[in-house]
Structure 1
Amino acid sequence: MRNGRTRILVAALVTTLATALLPAAAARASVPADTLVRTGTGVVRGQHTSEGRQFLGIPYAQPPVGALRWREPRPAEPWRGVRDATEFSNRCVQSASWDPGYEDPTYTEDCLDLNVYAPDGSADRPVMVWLHGGGLTAGAGADIVPDTFARTTGTVVVTVNYRLGAMGFLAAAGLDRQASDGVSGNFGLQDQQLALRWVRANIWRFGGDPGRVTVAGESAGGRSVCTQLASPTGRGLFRAGIVESGAYGDCAARTHEDARASGAAFAARLGCASGDVVGCLRRKSSQEILEAQAGFDWAPVVGGAFLPEQPAASIAAGRSARVPVLNGANQDEGRLFAYGAYDGQGTPLTAAAYPKALVDAFGQEAGTRALGEYPLAGHPSPTYAYAAAAGDQLMACPALRLNQRLARSGLPVYAYEFADRTSPPFASIREAGRTFDFGATHVNEVQYLFKHFGLATPLNAEQRVLARRMVQYWGSFVRGSVPRAEGAPAMPDQRSSAGRTLSLRTASVGGITRSTTVHRDHRCTLWDAAAS
C-alpha cells in the first residue's frame, strides 16, 4: 500500500504524462492537470465544478452485450488516448417512469459505468460507493449528484450503474451451466462487486483511500448493501455499510428453485421454452426483454458461492462481513406506495374496502390483527391507515430486526429514523404538483444528503439545518467514527443502546433526539410475529 505522499507524487507524474500525450489541440486548450487521471484502463478527462472535480461515465466493465449478456461482468478493456468523462453514460435497460430524466424507456445494454466526485486537494480521503434504488428494475448512478456532500465531508463519492430487471437477475438452467458457481441470476449484484474492485484498484488516483471504502445505498440500493454484507465474494472490498430503507423483506433472496422456475416462465413468454433457450433469449432485442419482464420478481438468488445463504441467516450467525453498519428507515415509508396504489390512480381507498385491503396485503391472520392495530379513527383517511400498516410491515420493522441481528453478532450498528414529516415530496412528485401529504415517506431522506435527480431541493431554514446535520452524521461514519453532528446527540450503537434510535426531525417538532419508542410506534410486535 503506497503512503499518501507517494500517491500524490505518482498522481502528479501520471497527470503530467497524460498531458504530454494529449493531442496538440487539447493541450492548447489548457486542460487542468488534476482533471486528467490515468486509470488502470486509460486516461480520463473530467472537469472542475464549484464543488470540486467530477469524472462521469467511466467504464468499469465490458458492455454486457451479445455473448456477454447474462454473463458475469468482465473488467473494462483498455482504451487509447484520453476518454472524455464530462457526461453521464447510458442508463441500463429500464422502463419509463415519472422521475425527471426517466420519462422514456431505455434499451441500452452498454451501461456499466461509474461516476467519481472528488474534492480538490489532498489524497487518502475516505470513499463512499453509492448504489442507487429503483426496485432493482430502474435507476442509475446519475440519480444523485453528491458533489456538495463530497466537498463538505472531505470524501470521494462514487455512484454506480448496474444491470437491472431481467438483464440483471434472470436465472435459467442454461445460464447456471455458464455461471462460475452454478447459480445464475446475480448479474446486477456481481456488477456492483466488480465496480467495488475497480474502486479498490483505481480510487487512489482520484485522491481516495482504497482501504477506507463504505458501500451505501437507498431502497434497492440498501437491499444491495445488505446482500453484499452477506456475500463471501465481496469480503475486503469495503470497511463499512450504509443501508437506507433497504432491509425490506429481511433482505431475502429468491431460492434457486424459485428463480429458475420464474426464468422458465419468462423464457416461455418470449417464445423460448424449448431447445437452445439461452441462445433464443440472447437473440431477443433489449426492447423485447424489457417488455416481457413485467410481473416477475427480479431479485438476488441464494445458493451459490456468491450468496450461499439468506442474508438474514448470514448476519444473525455472524458469517457476514465484519464491518460497522449505519441502518435506518423513514417514519412514513408506506405513504408513497399507498398513494401509488390508490389516490395516485384516482381511486382512494374506502372505509368499506379497507379490511379486505389489509387481508389481501398481509394474509388473513396478520391482516385481521392489523385492523385492530390501525383503526380508521386514528388516521385522516383509509389510504393513510393502510400506508401506516404497509410502511411498518415492509420497511420500519425489518430495519429494526436488521439492527438486532447485526448487534447480536457483535458488529457496530448505528440506528436512525428519518422523521421530518414536513419534508418536500421527492423531486418527481414535487415536479408533478402532487398535493397528497407524503410526510417522511420512502426516498425523502435522500434529498437531505444529495441533489436528487440532479435537482437542489427547496428546503426551508429548519430543514437546511437538519440536512446539514444529516450530512455530518453520514460523513463522520464514512470517515470511520461514530456518526456525530454538531449540537446533536451521537447516533446510538445498538450493542450498547439496544432499542434506541436517532430520530431525525426539525427543531420545531422536537429536533434530533434519541427515541426509545420506534418499535412500539410501528407496531413491530405484530409484524415481528408475522415474519417469524
Structure 2
Amino acid sequence: MRTPSRLRILLAAVVATLATGLLPAASTHATDATNATDRAVEVHTRSGWVRGRHTPEGRQFLGIPYAEPPVGALRWREPRPVRPWPGVRAATDFGDRCVQTASWDPGYEDPTYTEDCLHLNVYAPDGSTRRPVMVWLHGGGLTAGAGADIVPDTFARATGTVVVTVNYRLGAMGFLAAAGLDRQASDGVSGNFGLQDQQLALRWVRADIARFGGDPDRVTVAGESAGGRSVCTQLASPTGRGLFRAGIIESGAYGDCAARTRQSAVASGAAFAARLGCTSEPVVECLRGKPARAILEAQGGFDWGPVAGGAFLPEQPAAAIAAGRSARVPVLNGANQDEGRLFAYGAYDGQGRPLTAEAYPKALVDAFGPEAGARALTAYPLSDYPSPTYAYAAAAGDQLMACPALRLDRRLARSGLPVHAYEFADRTSPPFASIREAGRTFDFGATHVNEVQYLFKHFGLVTPLDPEQRVLARRMVQYWGSFVRGSVPRADGAPAMPDQRVAPGRTLSLRTASVGGITLSPTIHRDHHCTLWDSAAS
C-alpha cells in the first residue's frame, strides 16, 4: 500500500480469484439497446452522419469513433481526430473495448486484442437542446474496462443531461514510456496516450455535442476508480484547460493521484521491451511489430499510469492542485466506507485462504512498512472486527482510498476551489454484479465500486435494490445531476453536499434511512484513522 502499485497488485488478486470460476459471472449483459424500438435517429457530426436509435429513455448513439485507429505506425502515438466517413454510420452497437485481459465481469469473459477501440457512446434525452453534459471515464486500474461498463440512459433522462462514455487505451498500449517514444512525443515525454485519448474525446464533445442536444460550455468530466484518478490527472493537465467546467472523482484519489516520473517510466519501458526481446535499436519499431496478443501477455507486473514531466502533465497532480495550478473548476469528490473489503477478499478469502490472526501483524507490515504497520496494528485491533480479513480491509481501505480522498478535499479547498465531499456508506448495498454470489458468504459492505450501481446500470444490469436503497439511489442521482447542471449538489429532503471551503471536514454520508439516512458527518477523518495515514504519506 506504500505506492499506488499496491492497488494494481490487489486488483490482480481479485481478478485472478474471480476468473477461476469460484464466483460465476452474471449470465446476461443487457442494455436498453436490446429492447429499443426500431425507430432510428440520425445526427450529422463533423466527421459524418451517425444513425442511433430511440429507446424508452431517449436517444442513444453507440460506438462513434472519435480518433483514428491507433494501429500500425499510430500505435504509441498521440491520438489523431477521426477522418470523415462517407454515408451514414450505424451507431447502434458498442465498439470493441481496448486491448485487455479477460475478467469476471459480464461481457468480458474473453480477452480482447483489438487496437481499433477509440469510440464513445452518447445518451441524450429527447426534447430541448443545450443540456449540461457529463463525460464518464471508466475504471479498471488503467488496464481494463470500457465505456460500455455503464449504461447511463436512465440517469440522463432523470437529470436532463447528456452523458458520454469513453473508451481509451489501456495498459502498455496506453501508458508505455520509452526513450524512442519520447523522441516522437510532441512534449518530449511519452506514456500518456490513454489520458491523451481522453482529452481528444473531450475535444470531440466540445465540437460535436451540441448536435446531440448538449451544451459544450457545460461539460463535467467524471469517473470512478481509475476513471476518477484520470479526472484528478486531467485537472492538473494544462492541455485540458477549457474542455470541462467541473469534475467528479469517485474513489479516484488513491496514491494522491501520483504519476510516474519520466525516469522511472522510461526504465520500466526498457524492461518491458526486453521482456519482448526488443533490446537493440530501433526498439520502438521492434515493439510496433509485435502483435497485440504479445504486448498484452507481456504487460503483467508493470505499473501502467500517467507520466509527469512534459507539457501534458508538467508536475504531480497533488502539487499542481495544492499550488493552485490546476483547472479552476468545482469538484465533487468522495470514496466508499468499506473500500478495502473488495481487495482484501481478493487477496485472502477469495483465494480460499482467509487471513489468520497469527498472520495479521505481518500482513500489515508487508502492506504498509514496519513503522506504519506497527501503528496500524494498534489502530485496527482484531477485537474490533469479525475476522482478520475485515481488520486488514479496514486498514487497507483507509490508507488507499478514504484518507487520500480527504487529503484531496483539503488541497482543493486550500487552493480556493469549490469541493463537495461525500462518503458512500450504505453497508446494506448489494455486491455489484461480478461478486454478487460471493456476497452470500462475505460481507462486502459499502466496498469499492458499489456506489456505481446506484447511479447507472452497471454492466448494463439493473441492480436489485430494496425500497430504501431505491430512495437512496434516487437521491444520489439528484446530487450528481444537480452538480452536473452547475449547482451545489442537492437532493429532495436531504442536506446539501458540503463545500469544504466553508465547512471543512464535514462530509455527506450516504446511507439508507434505517441506518441513519443521509447526514452530514464531522468525524470521517477520525473514523478512518487518517492522522495515522496522513503522517505515513508525508
TMscore range, shorter length: over 0.9
Q: Secondary structure at the match of 2:60?
A: strand
State the partner residue of 1:391: 397
**Separation of aligned partners in 1, 2:281 and 2:158:** 57
1:435: how far off? 2.4
The answer to whether the aligner puts 1:417 opposite 2:423 as a matched pair is yes
State the partner residue of 1:22: none
**Separation of aligned partners in 1, 2:290 and 2:306:** 23
Cα shift readout 1:106-127 (whole Å, capped 9, x = no counterpart): 0000000000000001100000
Q: Secondary structure at the match of 2:184?
A: coil
State the partner residue of 2:71: 65
**Separation of aligned partners in 2, 1:77 and 1:121:** 30
Q: Secondary structure at the match of 1:177?
A: helix
Equivalent of 1:188, from 161, 182, 194? 194
1:432: how far off? 6.2
Checking the alignment, whether the CA contact within 8 Å between 2:430 and 2:439 is kept in structure 1 is no
Matched letter for residue 370 of structure 2: Q
Q: Secondary structure at the match of 2:269?
A: helix
The answer to whether the aligner puts 1:147 opposite 2:153 as a matched pair is yes
State the partner residue of 1:82: 88
The answer to whether the aligner puts 1:256 opposite 2:262 as a matched pair is yes
Q: Secondary structure at the match of 2:109?
A: coil
Matched letter for residue 295 of structure 2: I
Shift in CA distance, 32/456, structure 1 to aligned 2, threshold 3 Å? closer
Q: Whose RCO is larger (CA < 8 A, sep 6+)? A: 2
Equivalent of 1:347, from 353, 361, 367? 353
Equivalent of 1:96, from 102, 106, 115? 102
The answer to whether the aligner puts 1:375 opposite 2:381 as a matched pair is yes
Equivalent of 2:292, from 275, 286, 291? 286
1:273: how far off? 1.4
After TM superposition, the structure 1 = structure 2 runs for residues 9-28 of structure 1, keeping only pairs within 5 Å, are none
The answer to whether the aligner puts 1:516 opposite 2:522 as a matched pair is yes
Matched letter for residue 391 of structure 2: A
Equivalent of 1:53, from 59, 63, 74? 59
State the partner residue of 2:16: none
1:370: how far off? 0.3
1:430: how far off? 1.3
State the partner residue of 2:215: 209
1:434: how far off? 5.0
**Separation of aligned partners in 1, 2:177 and 2:339:** 30
**Separation of aligned partners in 2, 1:226 and 1:487:** 31
Matched letter for residue 211 of structure 2: R
Q: Secondary structure at the match of 2:332?
A: strand
State the partner residue of 1:308: 314
1:339: how far off? 0.3
The answer to whether the aligner puts 1:220 opposite 2:226 as a matched pair is yes
State the partner residue of 2:34: none
**Separation of aligned partners in 2, 1:232 and 1:69:** 24
**Separation of aligned partners in 2, 1:333 and 1:154:** 30
**Separation of aligned partners in 1, 2:83 and 2:497:** 43
The answer to whether the aligner puts 1:429 opposite 2:410 as a matched pair is no
Select the structure of larger CA radius of gyration. 1
The 4+ residue runs of structure 1 with deviation greater than 2 A are 30-33, 431-435
**Separation of aligned partners in 2, 1:62 and 1:285:** 19
CA RMSD of superposed structures (Å): 1.0
**Separation of aligned partners in 2, 1:455 and 1:126:** 25
After TM superposition, the structure 1 = structure 2 runs for residues 223-238 of structure 1, keeping only pairs within 5 Å, are 223-238=229-244
**Separation of aligned partners in 1, 2:104 and 2:86:** 39
**Separation of aligned partners in 2, 1:197 and 1:407:** 28
**Separation of aligned partners in 1, 2:366 and 2:280:** 36
For structure 2, which runs of at least 5 residues remain unmatched after alignment? 1-36
Matched letter for residue 450 of structure 1: F
Cα shift readout 1:135-161 (whole Å, capped 9, x = no counterpart): 000000000000000000000000000
1:258: how far off? 0.3
After TM superposition, the structure 1 = structure 2 runs for residues 323-342 of structure 1, keeping only pairs within 5 Å, are 323-342=329-348
Checking the alignment, whether the CA contact within 8 Å between 2:38 and 2:54 is kept in structure 1 is no
Matched-pair identity in %: 86
Aligned length: 502
**Separation of aligned partners in 2, 1:244 and 1:257:** 29
Q: Secondary structure at the match of 2:308?
A: coil
Q: Secondary structure at the match of 2:508?
A: strand
Matched letter for residue 292 of structure 1: A
Checking the alignment, whether the CA contact within 8 Å between 2:139 and 2:224 is kept in structure 1 is yes
The answer to whether the aligner puts 1:499 opposite 2:499 as a matched pair is no
**Separation of aligned partners in 1, 2:354 and 2:280:** 44
Larger CA deviation: 159-168 vs 97-106: 97-106
The answer to whether the aligner puts 1:266 opposite 2:272 as a matched pair is yes
State the partner residue of 1:439: 445
**Separation of aligned partners in 1, 2:264 and 2:369:** 21
Equivalent of 1:173, from 179, 184, 188? 179
Q: Secondary structure at the match of 1:511?
A: coil
Cα shift readout 1:389-448 (whole Å, capped 9, x = no counterpart): 000000000000000000000000000000000000011111566521000000000000
1:517: how far off? 0.5
Matched letter for residue 409 of structure 2: N
**Separation of aligned partners in 2, 1:361 and 1:173:** 32
1:275: how far off? 1.7
**Separation of aligned partners in 2, 1:196 and 1:174:** 28
1:274: how far off? 1.6
Q: Secondary structure at the match of 1:126?
A: strand
Q: Secondary structure at the match of 1:326?
A: strand
Matched letter for residue 270 of structure 1: L
The answer to whether the aligner puts 1:462 opposite 2:463 as a matched pair is no
Matched letter for residue 46 of structure 2: G
**Separation of aligned partners in 1, 2:483 and 2:351:** 40
**Separation of aligned partners in 1, 2:115 and 2:132:** 31
State the partner residue of 2:365: 359
1:31: how far off? 7.9
The answer to whether the aligner puts 1:160 opposite 2:186 as a matched pair is no
Checking the alignment, whether the CA contact within 8 Å between 2:228 and 2:248 is kept in structure 1 is yes
Q: Secondary structure at the match of 1:356?
A: helix
Checking the alignment, whether the CA contact within 8 Å between 2:431 and 2:439 is kept in structure 1 is no
Equivalent of 1:483, from 486, 489, 493? 489
Matched letter for residue 503 of structure 2: S
**Separation of aligned partners in 2, 1:480 and 1:124:** 13
With the length of structure 1 as denominator, give the TM-score of the two structures: 0.94
Checking the alignment, whether the CA contact within 8 Å between 2:341 and 2:393 is kept in structure 1 is yes
Cα shift readout 1:22-52 (whole Å, capped 9, x = no counterpart): xxxxxxxx9857x100000000000011000
Checking the alignment, whether the CA contact within 8 Å between 2:137 and 2:230 is kept in structure 1 is yes
